[in-house]
């Protein structure tokens, strides 16, 4: 048995003249959590749909859990779980009815179904409200129900397409605890996201832009090899300073964060800190640890533009998304 849950070469999908996914290579080891990070329309969902066998690639070699796609998609069906971007359960069925229905689809007999549904209700803290209609649940409860449904048949590989876009940070943290429990029990997980903090939790990730993989590796590897020094400038009139700095070829990007200007200076620049100090008229400079957002900016076309990420609606919690 291969150590790779997903082994893909040059996976491509065109819609007319639009290349949604462009020669994507992926090697995802079993038992890990792998992320797709990228903005809307970069090809995350299209890639996931091809990897689940639901969408036929235009070209490329795809092997998922040892099955070749699209030829062996049927054999893969019972071995994978898929949580789509939109809540796809029945609003007018209760929590228990939804899970029992999924169990029926997977061919559980009534005893197996009852046992497994009870187990999931307890695991996802839904047992006290099991008769409540799914349509009346909060975002976090819906998401827990969707995860319970996607894992009901004990899949070896779980696909999650932007699973936490509608939930608050606390529920998101809790959700990720469940993912690590699943991973610990041997499930491989592929999760797409546009949240930087979520991507940082993955064992490894691919940064996608316009259907192309711009970089991949563990968050630490990506930060160590990003090709730029990250420096922060403190002082007044940062707007003017920013517009001057982004004209310099040494500067990959500059973005204001409150009272600081975060500047990415290209690696090729000799003595980057001294170089920047000479540009900033006595303002204070500090070298800081790169973030995944810096990696994203450095490896996509988002250079001197405003940062690839913006403060999310949950900005108070310090989150960012691309």
For helices 139-151 and 110-123, give the axis angle rounded to 10 degrees.
Answer: 140
Closer to ligand ATP by Cβ: residue 56 or 138: 56
Q: CB 152 → ligand ATP: shortest distance, Å?
A: 25
- Residue among 43 and 155 whose Cβ is closer to ligand ATP: 43
248, 303 Cβ separation under 8 angstroms: no
Cβ count near 115 (within 10 Å): 12
Gap between the Cα atoms of 127 and 57, Å rounded: 41
The least CB distance from residue 263 to ligand ATP, in Å, is 29
**How far from each other are the two terminal CA atoms of the chain, in whole angstroms?**
37
- Which among 64, 55, 47 has a CA at the least distance from the CA of 213? 47
Cα–Cα distance for residue pair 307/252, rounded to 1 Å:
11
DSSP code at position 80 = E
Q: Which is nearer to ligand ATP, 41 or 140 (CB)?
A: 41
Q: How many CA atoms lie within 13 A of 48 on its CB side?
A: 28
Residue 233 vs 322, nearer CB to ligand ATP? 322
Q: For residue 216, give the H/E element and its range.
A: strand 212-217
Name the minimum Å distance from CB 195 to ligand ATP: 11
Q: Among residues 37 and 99, whose Cβ is nearest to ligand ATP?
A: 37
Measured between alpha carbons, how far is 298 from 266 in angstroms, rounded to an integer? 9
Strand partners, 205: 35, 217
Neighbours of 279 (CB within 10 A): 17
Residues 6+ apart with CB under 8 A from 71: none
CB of 21 to ligand ATP, least distance (A): 7
- The residue (of 15 and 180) whose beta carbon lies closer to ligand ATP is 15
Residue 2 CB, nearest approach to ligand ATP (Å): 26
Residue 321: CB atoms within 10 Å: 21
Shortest distance (Å) from residue 192 CB to ligand ATP: 6
Interacting residue ranges for ligand ATP, rule: CB under 6 A: 15, 18, 20, 38, 40-46, 85
Q: Which is nearer to ligand ATP, 45 or 52 (CB)?
A: 45
Rounded to a whole number of angstroms, the minimum distance from the CB of residue 44 to ligand ATP is 4
């Amino acid at each position: 048995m291969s150590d790779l849950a997903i082994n893909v070469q040059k996976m491509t999908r065109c819609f007319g003249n639009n290349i949604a996914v462009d020669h994507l290579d992926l090697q995802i080891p079993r038992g890990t959590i792998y992320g797709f990070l990228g903005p809307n329309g970069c090809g995350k969902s299209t890639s996931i749909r091809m990897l689940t066998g639901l969408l036929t690639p235009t070209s490329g070699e795809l092997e998922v859990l040892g099955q070749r796609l699209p030829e062996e998609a049927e054999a893969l069906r019972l071995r994978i779980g898929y949580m789509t971007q939109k809540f796809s359960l029945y609003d007018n069925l209760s929590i228990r009815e939804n899970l029992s229905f999924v169990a029926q689809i997977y061919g559980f007999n009534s005893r197996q179904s009852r046992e497994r549904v009870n187990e999931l209700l307890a695991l996802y803290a839904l047992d006290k409200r099991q008769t409540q209609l799914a349509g009346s649940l909060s975002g976090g409860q819906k998401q827990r129900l969707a995860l319970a449904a996607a894992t009901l048949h004990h899949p070896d590989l779980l696909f999650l397409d932007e699973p936490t876009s509608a939930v608050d940070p606390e529920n998101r943290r809790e959700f990720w605890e469940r993912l690590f429990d699943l991973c610990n029990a041997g499930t491989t997980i592929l999760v797409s996201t546009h949240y930087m903090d979520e991507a940082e939790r993955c064992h490894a990730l691919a940064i996608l832009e316009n259907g192309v993989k711009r970089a991949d590796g563990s968050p630490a590897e990506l930060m160590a090899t990003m090709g730029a020094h990250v420096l922060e400038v403190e002082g007044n009139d940062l707007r003017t300073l920013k517009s001057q700095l982004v004209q310099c070829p040494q500067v990959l990007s500059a973005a204001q964060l409150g009272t600081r200007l975060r500047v990415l200076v290209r690696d090729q620049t000799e003595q980057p800190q001294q170089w920047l100090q000479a540009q900033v008229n006595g303002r204070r400079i500090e070298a800081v640890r790169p973030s995944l957002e810096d990696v994203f900016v450095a490896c996509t076309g988002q250079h001197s533009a405003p940062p690839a990420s913006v403060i999310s609606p949950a900005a108070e919690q310090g989150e960012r998304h691309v």
